Amino acid sequence: MKRTIMAASAILMALSALADATSVTPAVPYASWVRRGWFERFDQKKALAAKGGYPVLFVGDSITHFWESKGAEVWKRYFAEGDYKALNIGISGDRTENVLWRLQHGQIDGLDPKAVVVMIGTNNIGHRQPDQESGYDTFCGVRAIVDDLEKRCPNAQIIVHTIFPRAAATNDQMRIRVDAVNLMIRDWIWYKGVEARKKKAPAPRVLCCDFAGKLVGPDGTLSREMAPDLLHPGPAGYELWANELRPYLDYALGKASKPPAWLGSYSCPTAIPVTGPHAVTAKGYPYWLANAANPRILQKVNEIADNHSHYYDMVLLGDSITHFWEGSHLAHYKKTFDGYSTLNLAFGGMHTEHVLWNITYGGFLDKFQTRLFTLLIGTNNRSDSAEDTALGIRRILEALAVKQPNAKVILMPIFPRYERPRDGRPAGYLPGSPERVRNEKVNELIRPLADGQRVIWCDFNAQLAPAPDGVPSQEIFRDGVHPTDKGYDIWAAAMMPVVEKLIGPRRPSADAR
């Protein structure tokens, strides 16, 4: 054991430079207050796991670790022995990347639990500022742990907790960051549940135990009776946790035929608006989009992290129309923006509320500076009124002004769209059709948002639909919505002179140098 600890400590010292490791990059902790006793506990719990005999596994940080101190009486009563006999591998101070390191270095090898309880993420938020770790970073770390546990514990039900509230008031910035991650966790587990139901599974493998609303008062205030330091539960908090968790364990251990409501029903009062017109209320991705969007989210999180200059000439925001510059039109993208450092933060399927979420709560724009944004959004808000969609775009512009007050914005109208008649259905999105009228109304409402100083209007819709009847041709729009190469050429020809005027000429390309 001593030799293992010494070797591990040497590794720790060698890797201490990885202080900026991301939430999904397995790493040992580097803070001196965390590393005290860290490897001793790692080895101790690894040895216990190797012996087996634990149907329940608790994974997490100090909130889980402290079942053995602040929650000791409750732990002894419920989880020390019997059907719920549990192994607690929580370690104080751990972030998601530290848990990943432990899992990937054999801490639970030999263990075959029936239930795994996960509570992690609060230290990612508490130890790092928003410009160091975004809400999506933390969410991706939680997701990576769950994905790993699903593979390592094939017979286990994974029970994921939303991060417990921290700080007393709902409008505390720490609480808001926790709430943002929790909403992402809930949306993701909701999607996994929908997929499980499609496969007619009795329940998803991953369940969400969310009782945050019971940890706080009716107004959302966290009391010191429940969490004496406004972070870690006291005895009353651990008693509540045990009572909320046991029905999930009963299902995992075969003592109950059905799981509790798998998403949970105790959403926590929060300063993040969760109701209101869709187009103007910041929301994470809906469940049907989450699975498709998350790989690109992670790609962009890593792309931003790899940019050590923390600067871009321009950042593109929008939906699939902007996203697809990087798809089959990648050659056009590189040619169009050659000589500028660019970041494409558009995601297929996005509505105005999703862009607003990324800006306000996702944390994407906290990690870099840019001189210019381009914004094209709204075509997917088809169930929203023109007025709400336009207001959503206005909210995006206001959020950009808060996050990056020195950056200008090129604002574009919603592109014309159409649907050719097929299968006996009439053509849609034609001039005069409700869809086309709505989009044109949105464009009328957002044009005054461009003041010519900070927000610059760039309208080339007449060039995208030059036919006498105003219907875009398949030569310009391959499916009535997304441009062809010719469509992107029209876009580039109209927008790039504006770009050059706003941020200056292109730098020589790498090839030219």
Q: Which of 114, 81, 128 is nearest to 250 (CA)?
A: 114
pLDDT, tens digit, for every residue of 421-464? 444 444 445 556 777 788 999 999 999 999 999 999 999 999 99
Please report the pLDDT score of residue 407 as a whole number. 98
| Residue 194: C-alpha distances to residues 115, 240, 256, 343, 501 (Å) | 21, 28, 21, 32, 48
Dump the DSSP string for 60-119.
Answer: ESHHHHGGGTTTHHHHHHHTSSGGG-EEE---TT--HHHHHHHHHTTTTTT---SEEEEE
| Residue 19: C-alpha distances to residues 14, 23, 133, 143, 205 (Å) | 11, 11, 12, 21, 33
pLDDT, tens digit, for every residue of 193-215? 878 888 888 778 999 999 999 99
Are 86 and 113 contacting, i.e. CB atoms less than 8 angstroms apart? no
Rounded to an integer, what distance in angstroms lies between the CA atom of residue 385 and that of residue 418? 19
Task: Give the global pTM.
Answer: 0.87
3-state secondary structure of 310: coil
Please report the pLDDT score of residue 362 as a whole number. 87
Are 62 and 179 contacting, i.e. CB atoms less than 8 angstroms apart? no
Helices and strands of the chain, counted as H and E runs: 19, 10
pLDDT, tens digit, for every residue of 122-171? 999 999 998 889 898 999 899 999 999 999 999 999 999 999 999 999 99
3-state secondary structure of 391: helix
Please compute, for residue 238, the number of CA atoms within 13 A of its CA located in the half-sphere on the CB side. 23
Map out the domains of the chain with their CATH numbers.
2-252 (3.40.50.1110), 300-503 (3.40.50.1110)
Please compute, for residue 65, the number of CA atoms within 13 A of its CA located in the half-sphere on the CB side. 17
**Strand 86-88 and strand 56-60: pairing?**
parallel
Please report the pLDDT score of residue 262 as a whole number. 61
pLDDT, tens digit, for every residue of 359-417? 999 888 998 999 999 999 999 998 999 999 999 999 999 999 999 999 999 999 999 87
Q: Which of 302-306, 434-438, 501-505 has the lowest mean pLDDT?
A: 434-438
